[in-house]
Amino acid sequence: MTAHLYDLTLADGRRLSPYCWAAKLALAHKGVRFETTATRFVDIGKVAGGGFKTVPIVEIDGVTIGDSFELALHLERTRVDSPALFAGEGGVALTRAAAAQGAYLLGKMSRPMALAIHDGLDAETQAYFRASRERMFKAPLEEVSAEPEITIAAAREAMTPLRILLRGQPFIGGDSPLFADFLIAGLFQWARVVGAVDYLAGEDRIGPWFGRLEERYGATLGATAG
Amino acid sequence: MTAHLYDLTLADGRRLSPYCWAAKLALAHKGVRFETTATRFVDIGKVAGGGFKTVPIVEIDGVTIGDSFELALHLERTRVDSPALFAGEGGVALTRAAAAQGAYLLGKMSRPMALAIHDGLDAETQAYFRASRERMFKAPLEEVSAEPEITIAAAREAMTPLRILLRGQPFIGGDSPLFADFLIAGLFQWARVVGAVDYLAGEDRIGPWFGRLEERYGATLGATAG
């Protein structure tokens, strides 16, 4: 059976959300076919019966799941013969640590990208995005995305633990990728789709790691416009 | 049987190394009794038959293990009925991510502490420590530990992902501690033993987390002088 994912979109159809990318990689990893519906920020509350505030929203196995981590747990429970996403209880707990690291990175990486994301949205969605992000950052978007050389350097600094880790193993999950890889890869894919900052440039450990994921999930990562 | 751990010491007997603290917490977690020998930086190469360059060095089950992560893997393999340190293969891989995060934190936390550590060593060890650390930091120790308000702020910034994680779960390992907790707790215990910087002060998530570990491993964490 085919799963259905409501996928955040820019005005031109390019798929945005790092957590949707993590969800799509998890589905691909488990061999689950899926279709996506391009969904604007302002329409999230209207799809899948309503009531969801964030994406991804995934209809699968007769249930609707509104969170990428919950989706990954569901996939691990229901697809035990497919490659693992967590590989045990310890893996689940420590993937929460990777998610915390990802949330921190998201905040850092988003600053120099914020205005470019805004500019890629339709007018109605721009108004929503500007209001919500300016509340979050406590500053106008023009200020958040000012001085990109400083904010990009801060984001690169925050990637240091990932660089240290990838000295010793090809994937965050060890010899093969786990959901922790997809959570972090979603961030780099999001940045790549927006295109304002090339975070993979000059990264001699993170770049090849992302390349290894592209080798495995090229069809998924290549579907940037849906 | 009792294990034996060569434990890094300051001149007055206070036990220093974050990785020795991680090892002692792992032994305590698995219910393994151990004794320690106070060991100076300059004597590491002479103990346990020689040939080791770093601590902890642990004699256990007829083997000698020179690395806290390897010790934890050995304990997990040989004490399957005791509480888990990794809880599965995914846990092992993602504990490497926690270790990378720890290595990054270690670098940040050590700057404002470096001169205080030096001053706590005997004269022979001071000379070794100064030379090796000045090579590492590419600066005199006095410069490394200058402007502590700036370096402490940088260390606190690097703790942000840990704060985010502890919003959602009591331990890094989830509902109970895993080796990842001990790797990070070792850093805070190291700082506490040195006493130059109170990294737990004002930390309303990290402080209570460390307190929960003290509740469980108070005897181990209390043995700061061996």
Residue found under tokens 């108004």: A127
- pLDDT computed for residue A197 by the predictor: 97
Q: Residue A226 — very low, low, confident or very high, per pLDDT cuts 50/70/90? A: low
CATH code assigned at A119: 1.20.1050.130
Residue B205 pLDDT greater than 90, yes or no: yes
Other C-beta atoms lying within 10 Å of the C-beta of residue A14: 16
Cα separation of B20 and B224, whole Å?
11
Q: What is the pLDDT of residues B41-84, one digit of tens each?
A: 999 999 999 999 999 999 999 999 999 999 999 999 999 999 99
Q: What is the mean pLDDT of residues A179-194?
A: 98
Q: Express each pLDDT in A104-129 by its tens digit.
A: 999 999 999 999 999 999 999 999 99
For residues A75, A189, B104, B37, the Cα torsion angle rounded to the nearest 10 degrees is: 30
CA–CA min distance A199, chain B (Å): 20
Among the partner residues A88, A100, A160, nearest to B164 by beta-carbon distance: A100
Phi, psi of A121 (to 5 degrees): -95, 160
Asked if B34 contacts B3 with a C-beta cutoff of 8 angstroms, the reply is: yes
Question: What's the token pair of residue A151?
Answer: 């904010």
Per-residue H/E/C for A166-222: HCCCCECCECCCCHHHHHHHHHHHHHHHHCCCCCCCCCCCHHHHHHHHHHHHHHHHH
In a 3-state reduction of DSSP, which class is residue B184?
helix
The answer, for A180 touching chain B at a CB cutoff of 8 Å, is yes
Contacts of B156 (CB under 8 A, 6+ apart): B199
Whether the CB of B57 is below 8 Å from some CB of chain A: the reply is: no
Q: What is the mean predicted confidence (pLDDT) over B126-147? A: 97
Nearest 5°: CA angle at B196, between A108 and B210? 65
Across the interface, of A160, A164, A178, the residue whose CB is closest to B93 is A178
d(C-alpha A41, C-alpha A120), whole Å: 12
Task: Give the whole-angstrom CA distance, residue A173 versus residue A87.
Answer: 9
Tokens of A6: 């409501």
Q: For residue A1, what pLDDT band results from cuts at 50, 70 and 90?
A: confident
B150 touches chain A (CB under 8 A): no
Query: Residue A117 CB: number of other CB atoms within 10 A?
Result: 21
Report yes or no: A112 and B197 within 8 Å, Cβ to Cβ. no
pLDDT of residue B155: 98
In chain B, % of residues over pLDDT 90: 98
Does B86 contact A at CB distance below 8 Å? yes
A104 touches chain B (CB under 8 A): yes
Is the pLDDT confidence value at B145 over 90?
yes
B134-143 CB burial, b ≥16 within 10 A, e <16: beebeeebee
**Cβ-defined contact of B91 to A95 (cutoff 8 Å):** no
Q: What percent of chain A has pLDDT over 70?
A: 100
Read off the tokens for A159.
């990637």
- CA-CA distance, B28 to B111, in Å (whole number)? 30
Contact list in A for residue B84 (CB cut-off 8 A) is 89-90
Handedness of CA B139, B145, B150, B156 (dihedral sign): positive
Which residues constitute the domain of residue A12? 3-222
How far apart CA A199 and CA B134 sit, in angstroms, is: 31
Cβ–Cβ gap A161/B100 under 8 Å: yes
- Report which secondary-structure segment, H or E, holds B57: strand B57-60
Would you state the pLDDT for residue B45?
A: 94
- Prediction ipTM score: 0.95
Provide CB contacts within 8 A for B86, sequence distance 6+.
A90, B72, B73, B76, B92, B95, B178, B179
Model pLDDT for residues B8-54, shown as the tens digit of each residue: 999 999 999 999 999 999 999 999 999 999 999 999 999 999 999 99
Q: Which helix (H) or strand (E) holds B4?
A: strand B3-8
Contact in structure between B79 and B31 (CB atoms under 8 Å): yes
| pLDDT (0 to 100) of residue A225 | 87
**Count: domains in chain B:** 1
Share of chain A above pLDDT 90, in %: 98
SS3 label, residue B58: strand
Nearest to A97 among B84, B86, B98 (CB): B98
Q: Please answer yes or no on whether A161 and B84 come within 8 Å at the CB atom.
A: no
- pLDDT digits 0-9 by tens, B159-183: 999 999 999 999 999 999 999 999 9
Q: Does B165 contact A97 at a Cβ distance shorter than 8 Å?
A: yes
Q: Are strands A57-60 and A3-8 parallel, antiparallel or unpaired?
A: antiparallel
> Does B91 sit within 8 Å of A94, measured CB to CB?
yes
Strands, DSSP E only, in chain A?
Answer: 3-8, 34-39, 57-60, 63-65
Identify the pLDDT of residue B1. Answer: 79
Q: How far apart are CA A177 and CA A162, in angstroms?
A: 14
- pLDDT exceeds 90 at position B225: no
Asked whether A32 and A60 are in contact (CB, 8 A), the reply is: yes
Nearest CA among B166, B84, B94 for reference residue A85: B94
Side chain identity at B81, as an amino acid letter? Answer: D
At residue B226, does pLDDT exceed 80? no
